[in-house]
Amino acid sequence: MRTALATVTSLLLLSASAHAADVTAQSKVDAVTVFPAGAEVVRVGKVKLEQGEHVVIFNDVPAQAAPNSIRVEGRGTGKLEIGSVDSRRLVVPRTDEETVASERRRIEDELDAMRDSRAVLDGQVLASETQKTLIANLAQLPVRPQPAPGVAGAPSEDWARVLSIIGTSTAEAVRAGQDAQIRMRDLDHKIEDLEGKLASLAPAREERTEVKIYVSAATPLDADISVYYQVPNASWAALYDARLATGTKEAPPKLELTRRASITQRTGESWDDVTVALSTTRPTAGASAPELFPMTVDYVPEPKPRPVGQLQNAPMDGLARSDARKRMGGGAAGEDAIANETMEMAATAPAPAPIVEAALERNAVAVAAPFQAIFTVPGRLSIPATGEAKRVQLSVDNLEPQLAIRTVPKEDAKAYLYAKLALPPKATSLLPGSVSLFRDGTFVGNGLLPVLSPGEEHELGFGIDDSVRVRHAIVDDKRGQSGLISSSKTDTRNYRVTIKNLHQREISLTLYDQIPSSQNQDIKVERTGVAPTKENIDDKRGVSIWESKLDADEEKVFEYGYRVTWPSAKAIQYGN
C-alpha cells in the first residue's frame, strides 16, 4: 500500500512539474513591413522553458493590433510545439509602478527640503524687517529733547558716529532681506516645477493587447517566439529625384532616377533599430471585385384602390351617422353607442402593413495596384511613433532618355524640354508619387509620376529650354461676306510659327495648337495651310499637333490656319 501511494505521489509531482507557471516574455519590435496603408509588425521574445506545457504571455502588443492578423512562429534549442493562441484587450499601467512610486518619493523628499529652506529664508526676511524697524527707531534719537548743557548726568554722544553705524546697518539689513527674497523666488519656481512633475506621475493606464501562446517543450530549452500582427496608422509614399544631363554633341543625354520612400507611423509603439520592408500590397483593401445586382426598368405603378380595412375605418358621413343614431335610439346614448361601435371596429380591423424596403449594401472602394513588390531597406532604422517622416533611398536607375521639345505658341511662345523615359524590362514597377526635377544640376521644379510598369513610357517636363527659339505671328485676321442672294460671312485666321534649334544635337519637336470646333451644322470650319500630324489629341476636339525633328542649328517654319463660314443673319462667338 505504501509503495502504491509513493508511486501515485511521484506521478502527481511529475505531472505538476510538467505544467509550469505562465512565462511572461519581454519582447521588442524586430521587423516591420510597411504597406501604403498599415503595417505588419514582428515582435520577438526570448524565453527559457522547462520540459512540459507552458503559457507564454506577450502583454506589450499595442491595442491597435488587429485580432484576426495575429500569428505566431517560434524556434528553440530543442523540440518545441505551439498549440493555440489567444488574445484579449487589457488595461495596464503606462509605466512600471515601482519606478513611479520611487520617483514620487524622491520628488516628495526634495519638495520637503525646499519648503524647509523656504521657511528659513522667510525667517531671514522677517528678521531683516525687524532689524530695519529697530534701526529706524535709533535714527530718531538725535531729534529727541536732550538735557541742557552743563546739567548733571547729561550724556555726551558722538552722533556722527552713531548715524554712520545706523546707515551701514540699514544697508546690510536691506541687502540681507533682498538676498533672501531672491532665493525664495527661485525656490518657489523649483517647488512649482516639482509639484507639476508630481501631478504628472498620477497613475496613468493604457490599453494593450495580451497574447497567450500555449506551447509544449519536449526538453528544457531556450526559445525565440515571434508574434506577427497588423496595425493601422502607418504608411509609406513613393518619392523620386530625376536628374537630367542634357548631354553634348558627343555625349548623349542621361537620366538618373532615384527612388525614395517616406515612412510615417502613429501606431503607439516606437520602432527602434528594426529591419524595414516596404510592400506595395494593400491588405486592408477588398479581396474580391464588387458584386452587381440585377437592374430593372418598368412603368411607374398606378395608384392602387384603398384596402377594404381602410374603408371600414373611414369616418361616418352624415347619412350613415343618422342611420346609426336611429338604430341606437337617438340622443346622447345613441352618440355614445356610435363611439363605442367605432372603437370596436377600429380594434378588430387589421393593422396596416408596414412599409418594407430592401436593405442596400454599401460597397467599399478599393484602390489596388496592378502589381506587387517588396523593397527591403538596407540596415536597421528607428522610426518614432510621432508621425515624423523618415525618408530612405531604395534604388537608383540610370536611363537613356529621348529629349523632345513641346511648344504651345498660341498661349506662350516658349519651348519646354521633355525627357521620355522607359523602364527596363527587368526593373521594378514605379508607384505613383511626386518627383523633384533637376536639369544639369539645377533644381527646376516638381512633377508627378504615375504608375509605370517595365517597358512603359512616360514624359517628364524639365522647364523652359532657352536653346530653342519660338516666334509666333498672326499672318491673316480677316472677316468678310460673300454671296448675293444667300449671303454668308467668313472669318479667316492664319498663323506662322518659326522654331530654331540651338542645341548641338538633333531634337524632336511637337507643336500644339487648336482650331474652333463647330457646334452647329450651319457653321462650317475648314483648315488652311499645313495639315497637322494628329488631330483631337486626348479626345479634345480641335486640339492638334505638328511633329517634326530639328537638326542642330536648324530653323523650321509652320504656316497653318482656319476659315469659319456662317449665315450672315447670324452672329457667332468663340468659347471653350
Q: Of 431, 386, 452, 450, which is closest to residue 237 (Cα–Cα)?
A: 431
Most confident of 5-14, 165-174, 253-262: 253-262
**What are the residues whose beta carbons fall under 8 Å from the beta carbon of 87, sequence distance 6 or more?**
61, 65, 67, 70, 209, 210, 211, 212
What is the rounded distance in angstroms from the CA atom of residue 58 to the CA atom of residue 55?
A: 10
How far is residue 274 from each of residues 45, 64, 120, 380, 553, measured CA to CA in Å? 14, 19, 54, 5, 57
Pairing of strands 80-93, 205-217: antiparallel
58-69 pLDDT tens trace? 988 888 888 888
- Mean per-residue pLDDT, 560-573: 90
Pairing of strands 402-408, 412-422: antiparallel
Q: Is the pTM of this model over 0.85?
A: no
Grade residue 8 by pLDDT with cuts at 50, 70 and 90: very low
pLDDT at 186 over 90: no
How far is residue 190 from each of residues 124, 181, 184, measured CA to CA in Å? 20, 14, 10
Q: Are 274 and 382 within 8 A, CB to CB?
A: yes
As to burial, measured by CB atoms within 10 angstroms (0-12 exposed, 13-18 middle, 19+ buried), residue 39 is buried
Grade residue 498 by pLDDT with cuts at 50, 70 and 90: very high
Most confident of 116-130, 330-344, 533-547: 533-547
pLDDT at 18 over 50: no
Residue percentage of the chain with pLDDT more than 70? 74
pLDDT at 298 over 70: yes
pLDDT at 492 over 60: yes
What is the rounded distance in angstroms from the CA atom of residue 57 to the CA atom of residue 213?
A: 6
DSSP for 1-44, please give it: -HHHHHHHHHHHHHHHHHBPPPEE--EEEEEEEE-SS-EEEEEE
Residue 174: which H helix or E strand, with range?
helix 159-200
Q: What is the pLDDT of residue 417?
A: 95
138-169 pLDDT tens trace? 666 555 555 555 555 555 555 566 666 666 77
- Mean per-residue pLDDT, 368-396: 80
As to burial, measured by CB atoms within 10 angstroms (0-12 exposed, 13-18 middle, 19+ buried), residue 518 is middle
Beta strand segments in 8-146, E: 23-24, 27-34, 39-49, 52-62, 71-76, 80-93
pLDDT at 7 over 50: no
How far is residue 107 from each of residues 98, 196, 201, 564, measured CA to CA in Å? 14, 10, 10, 90
Q: What is the pLDDT of residue 87?
A: 86
392-432 pLDDT tens trace? 888 888 999 999 999 999 999 999 999 999 888 877 788 88
Report the chain's mean pLDDT, rounded to a whole number.
79
- Mean per-residue pLDDT, 330-351: 50
Q: What is the pLDDT of residue 182?
A: 84
212-226 pLDDT tens trace? 989 888 889 888 999
Most confident of 28-42, 173-187, 196-210: 28-42
Pairing of strands 433-439, 234-245: parallel
Which residues are paired to 146 by β-bridges?
none
Grade residue 470 by pLDDT with cuts at 50, 70 and 90: very high
What sign does the dihedral 332-337-338-344 (CA atoms) show? positive
Q: Where are the alpha helices (DSSP H) in 264-354?
A: 308-312, 318-328, 331-348
Grade residue 508 by pLDDT with cuts at 50, 70 and 90: very high
pLDDT at 323 over 80: no
Residue 200, CA atoms < 13 Å, CB-side half-sphere: 8
